[in-house]
Amino acid sequence: MDQRVVIESGCLLRESAMPAIPMTSAQIATDITERIADGEYPPGTQLPSYNELAEIYSTTFGTIARAMVRLRERGVVVGVPGKGVYVANVGP
């Protein structure tokens, strides 16, 4: 049986009667990385707050925090204490 996966409102949906499956921190990190690559969040842009991202992705603060750790470890974002998380300036 072929089930297509769709991301809608931060959840994985399968075309069936199954309830939505929340995205993992790894999936959220990948999604944010893709949004950065697509230009939605250009270098130097401040990302939404953890609470805003938790609402966007319909998940918990902790899941967003784990996604941000992944992104920081990869050098995709940088955290500025007391200010927020910003897209890293990548390039020469």
**pLDDT for position 10:** 56
Q: Which domains does the chain have, with CATH numbers?
A: 23-87 (1.10.10.10)
What confidence tier does 4 reach under pLDDT thresholds 50, 70, 90? very low
According to DSSP, residue 24 is labeled P
Q: What is the pTM of this model?
A: 0.76
The helix/strand/coil state of 79 is strand
Q: Give me the pLDDT at residue 53, please.
A: 97
pLDDT in tens, 13-38: 545 555 678 899 999 999 999 999 99
Per-residue DSSP letter, 16: S
Task: Kindly state the tokens that stand for 42.
Answer: 């250009």
Tens of pLDDT, residues 30-82? 999 999 999 999 999 999 999 999 999 999 999 999 999 999 999 999 999 99
Q: CA torsion, points 9, 59, 66, 68, in degrees to nearest 10? A: 40
